[in-house]
Structure 1
Amino acid sequence: MSKKRALLVLNGELNFKKSDLKRLISKKEIDCIIAVDGGANKLRGLKLIPDLIIGDLDSLTEQNKVYFNQHNVNIIKYPVEKDQTDGEIAVDYCQKNGFEELYLTAALGGRIDQQLANLNLLEYIYELNLRAEMISLNLEIALIGQNEKKEFLSKKGYRLSLLPQSKTVCGLTIKGCKYSLENQDIFRSQSRGISNLIEDERALIELKSGLLIYVLEKLE
């Protein structure tokens, strides 16, 4: 049985064209498009209809709210004063409704506090035992956890940065990149994993303990 996959469109910068986003939806076999509050405005701009709009709706324009109501989009409204971000609420919805893989877009750009909160949202998703990727045009961000391996295939020439999310990442191995490591520890307070370059058709990242954010970027 295939895994249920959701695309979460947040309220940052959405640098996909309509055709690019539709291609992503098809490639990732997305089952449900969820607009997180102001993310619905982004989709309206691309003339795409989400399956669900969720959040406190303080960023959703009244005009777009009317538009999506006319298109029978399911809208779940939460109070403005709450203990969670709209992104976290959307993740909880996905977890309760059986989604196992989440793809987040429009998660970067805009307010710096929201960007940091969205990056930390990857760890929240990880703690729920779900898989997640943050995707922008030419950019992919995700987590690698304890005893996990991550392969990058056909990504030669891409920039790859590794940032510890935990205080220490133990037993890190990097293969297929300009700067390789074998069973080394790296630390959140240092920048050793920044700006590597994939040089082989197959690159491998492996760690024994800790939590690591990777940033994969296609260079122009």
Structure 2
Amino acid sequence: MEEVIENPDRIEIEVTDVTNVIKPFKFTKDTSKSSLTILNQSIENIDIHEIWNNTTLHICADGGANRLYEYGGDKRSEFIPDFIVGDLDSITDEVKDYYKKQGTKIIPQLSQYASDFMKSMSLILLYFNGVEIVDVDEYDGLSKLMNQLNDKHLVNINSYILNGLGGRFDQSIHSINQIHILNQQYPTLKNVFINEQDIVFMIPKGRNLIGYNSISDFYKGNKFPVIGLLPFSPCIISSWGLKWDVRNWKSSMNGKVSSSNGIVSTNGVIIECDEDLVVNIER
């Protein structure tokens, strides 16, 4: 039976029988295998210092290099990416020459059968799983190297992506579609989109804990941060730790969707679902 439970503005939940733990705010202090990808959208209103300093691999997807170059200003030497990858139809010659002189490795990938975002994700998977990235064919060399991952036990990677869900609506939907595909093919790659307003990520079917130390770690407002649970396909959701918790709640894009809910638990949120969900949390 479906049920909706309204909670006080602050509660503590019991964390039991969790099958998957997701820590979307770990970039505040991440010592694991972690990456930051900068896409070709404005980052001028995002403070990237903390996430840059707490990630070990830095990638610009084509025109994302222009955005980083502009962001850095007279301190751009503090933000030198390890790689620039893509079809390179957006990056300017000035930016390309600057980063090349600073030691950035530039990897042209001219194929139009993958987005620059997906080319970046391939690079991340190859890099952290020990596949040597040298003499890469400029058309689709990264895609070909991905075949080498079939025989490997893939490591856990925290992948943070600046923006990617702003700009054109079709590009935002495509990005969501791609993290869904990546989650199914490479579940050890944990992707988190970081925008000016919120953080967006995917949780797999099962009983998931969205973990954090304190709400104040990621939200400075007076009430509670907004959360949305967006289904890819019809699913049944139960939650613990939201302002309006649900039990056995049927959700779909042509039915009910839990948007504008709130996080009230001080020690994490549990989401149980029988299909993958996209989650957005207000920063």
TM-score under structure 2 length normalisation: 0.69
Aligned residues: 210
Are 1:34 and 2:59 matched, yes or no?
yes
Are 1:158 and 2:186 matched, yes or no?
no
Q: 1:64 to 1:143 in 2, by over 3 A?
A: same
- The Cα of 1:108 is off from its aligned counterpart by 2.6
Which of residues 91, 100, 113 in structure 1 aligns to 2:121? 91
Are 1:7 and 2:66 matched, yes or no?
no
Q: Secondary structure at the match of 1:40?
A: helix
The answer for the alignment partner of 2:201 in structure 1 is: 142
Cα distance between partner residues in 2 of 1:86 and 1:54: 7
Q: 1:109 to 1:61 in 2, by over 3 A?
A: same
CA RMSD of aligned residues (A): 1.9
State the identity as a percent.
25
Cα distance between partner residues in 2 of 1:15 and 1:97: 28
Q: 1:207 to 1:176 in 2, by over 3 A?
A: closer
- The Cα of 1:21 is off from its aligned counterpart by 0.6
TM-score under structure 1 length normalisation: 0.87
Cα distance between partner residues in 2 of 1:169 and 1:13: 34
Q: How does 1:50-69 map to 2 (within 5 A)?
A: 50-69=81-100
C-alpha contact (below 8 Å) 1:37/1:86 kept by paired residues: yes
Q: 1:95 to 1:15 in 2, by over 3 A?
A: same
C-alpha contact (below 8 Å) 2:36/2:51 kept by paired residues: no
C-alpha contact (below 8 Å) 2:241/2:270 kept by paired residues: no
Are 1:187 and 2:252 matched, yes or no?
yes
Structure 1 residue ranges without an equivalent (≥5)? none
Cα distance between partner residues in 2 of 1:202 and 1:188: 30
C-alpha contact (below 8 Å) 2:62/2:89 kept by paired residues: yes
Cα distance between partner residues in 1 of 2:164 and 2:272: 26
Runs of 4 or more above 4 Å deviation:
none
- The Cα of 1:90 is off from its aligned counterpart by 0.9
Q: Secondary structure at the match of 2:125?
A: helix
C-alpha contact (below 8 Å) 1:144/1:150 kept by paired residues: no
Q: 1:120 to 1:13 in 2, by over 3 A?
A: farther
Q: How does 1:53-132 map to 2 (within 5 A)?
A: 53-79=84-110, 81-98=111-128, 100-127=157-184, 128-129=186-187, 130-132=189-191
Cα distance between partner residues in 2 of 1:39 and 1:103: 14
Amino acid at match of 1:123: H
Q: 1:163 to 1:208 in 2, by over 3 A?
A: closer
Amino acid at match of 1:204: V
C-alpha contact (below 8 Å) 2:250/2:256 kept by paired residues: no
The answer for the alignment partner of 1:23 in structure 2 is: 50
Structure showing the higher strand proportion among its residues: 1
Structure 2 residue ranges without an equivalent (≥5)? 1-30, 130-156, 216-222
Q: Which moved more, 1:182-191 or 1:84-93?
A: 182-191
- The Cα of 1:131 is off from its aligned counterpart by 0.8
Q: 1:4 to 1:200 in 2, by over 3 A?
A: closer
Query: Which structure has the greater CA radius of gyration?
Result: 2
Q: Secondary structure at the match of 1:83?
A: coil
Q: Secondary structure at the match of 2:173?
A: helix
C-alpha contact (below 8 Å) 2:231/2:253 kept by paired residues: yes
